[in-house]
Structure 1
Amino acid sequence: MKKLLALILFCSFATLALAQKDVDFDNGPSFKERIFFGGGLGFSGSNQQTNISLSPIVGYMITQQWSAGVGVTYQYIKLKNYDISDNLWGGNVFTRYSINQFFAQAEYDYINFDSNLLDDQDERDSATRFLLGGGISQPLGNRGAVNLLAMYDLTYGNDSPYDSPWVFRVYFSF
């Protein structure tokens, strides 16, 4: 069950996207110009499972290179072979520092899930993790980019619902 949950959570977080935009910091941008929105939307399905996720975020550009923000996560999973489903929800707080096309990112994630999904008992549990890593961003015009990110869970242990301490993401930002 742990491995299945880990795979599902990894797939949902792989869709996370952070918005990035050009702001003229030389002329003192307003609070509104520093705010950005973004997020991810994911869907995967097979003859064994369906996974739908939504991960909106809002952030603030502290400087041209440094930003921070918060996000929420909702995910619906259905395991067709067992005729069961679950609604997962959570959130995250992140900070990111960019140097040219490279960036470093720190993130704290929280997720709530049904810990006894296969036992047909409605017992909720939660998991947290603290991720550190970096990536590269390839710009697509003034506001868009394709981003590759690798992060490591510093709190990973034997009781983690995830199979691996590594998180890899490919996402678009606008």
Structure 2
Amino acid sequence: MNFIQKGLLAIMLISSSVAFGQITEDPEERRGDGKDPLKTKTPEGDPLPFSQRLRFGGGISNVSIGNPFSIGVSPVIAYQASERAILGVGVNYVYYRAKYYYQGGATEVYHANQYGGRVFGMYEIIPNIVKNLYLHGEFENTNVGYNVNQSTTQNLRRWVSAGLVGLTYSQPISRRFGVNLTALYNLSYNADPVFSSFVYGSSPWVIRVSFF
């Protein structure tokens, strides 16, 4: 296991440990009445303090299997702004690897480490029909490394920005923790397909599994 793989494993374990450390029992008063637990208020109807609206966790993102290969991890901090709205920020790390084929049979394996951040918002759209289905939008900025051409060893870096929209389905485990499956479409992918592929792989679709 190389240094990068060990780092990815460590980040995922830390994110999962922090997230699972938040699991608490839902308020017994509401569960006994057959009601869903409140996300921003106590069972008595008082607003929850800021600290009890925060969620800590993370997940796996930017997964592309094959050539190119990429996988990312993203620790996040989310805030329950209202009963239906969640706001959050995250830090991203993506490992990217691609094998290039040239005329004459020459090949080149390219490795890159990308890092950046994102802000996102989620809004539960139809809770009376499908609970925990959120409209999801975010802005992501990632710093990528690249070479000008195959004949140079000079490594350059640039920022790649992306606006993403889609849906997230969250399976709650407690008031402050859930398992989330997210499908987003990268609106910026075709505007910069070469560098976008360094971060997101060969498709504008982004699939994530996260825990917060």
TM-score normalized by the length of structure 1 = 0.70
Pairwise CA distance, 1:33: 0.6
Letter in 2 for 1:168: I
The C-alpha deviation readout for 1:81-106, integer Å capped at 9, x for no partner, is 85654321111100001232211100
Does residue 1:70 correspond to 2:119, yes or no?
Answer: no
Aligned length: 157
Letter in 2 for 1:58: I
Q: Which has the larger radius of gyration?
A: 2
Does residue 1:125 correspond to 2:174, yes or no?
Answer: no
Secondary structure of the residue aligned to 1:27 is coil
Question: CA 1:91 to 1:172, structure 2 compared with 1: closer, same or farther past 3 Å?
Answer: closer
State how 1:71-90 maps to structure 2 within 5 Å.
71-77=90-96, 82=108, 85-90=111-116
Question: CA 1:50 to 1:133, structure 2 compared with 1: closer, same or farther past 3 Å?
Answer: closer
Q: Which structure 2 segments of 5+ residues have no match?
A: 1-14, 24-37, 100-106
Letter in 2 for 1:173: F
2:145 aligned residue: 114
Structure with the bigger percentage of strand: 1
Does residue 1:164 correspond to 2:191, yes or no?
Answer: no
Does residue 1:105 correspond to 2:122, yes or no?
Answer: no
Distance in structure 2 (CA, Å) of the matches to 1:79 and 1:164:
14
Q: Which moved more, 1:75-84 or 1:58-67?
A: 75-84
Whether contact under 8 Å (1:143, 1:173) holds in the other structure is: no
Distance in structure 2 (CA, Å) of the matches to 1:106 and 1:24:
21
Secondary structure of the residue aligned to 1:28 is coil
TM-score normalized by the length of structure 2 = 0.59
Whether contact under 8 Å (2:72, 2:93) holds in the other structure is: yes
Pairwise CA distance, 1:60: 1.2
Distance in structure 1 (CA, Å) of the matches to 2:119 and 2:183:
17
Whether contact under 8 Å (1:23, 1:33) holds in the other structure is: no
Whether contact under 8 Å (2:40, 2:53) holds in the other structure is: no
Secondary structure of the residue aligned to 1:164 is coil
Secondary structure of the residue aligned to 1:115 is strand
Does residue 1:31 correspond to 2:69, yes or no?
Answer: no
State how 1:145-164 maps to structure 2 within 5 Å.
145-160=178-193, 161-162=196-197, 163-164=202-203
Structure with the bigger percentage of helix: 2
Distance in structure 2 (CA, Å) of the matches to 1:126 and 1:23:
36
Question: CA 1:111 to 1:50, structure 2 compared with 1: closer, same or farther past 3 Å?
Answer: same
Distance in structure 2 (CA, Å) of the matches to 1:51 and 1:132:
20
Distance in structure 1 (CA, Å) of the matches to 2:160 and 2:85:
27
Pairwise CA distance, 1:159: 2.2
Pairwise CA distance, 1:40: 2.1
Q: Percent identity, please.
A: 32
Whether contact under 8 Å (2:54, 2:79) holds in the other structure is: yes
Pairwise CA distance, 1:135: 3.0
1:139 aligned residue: 172
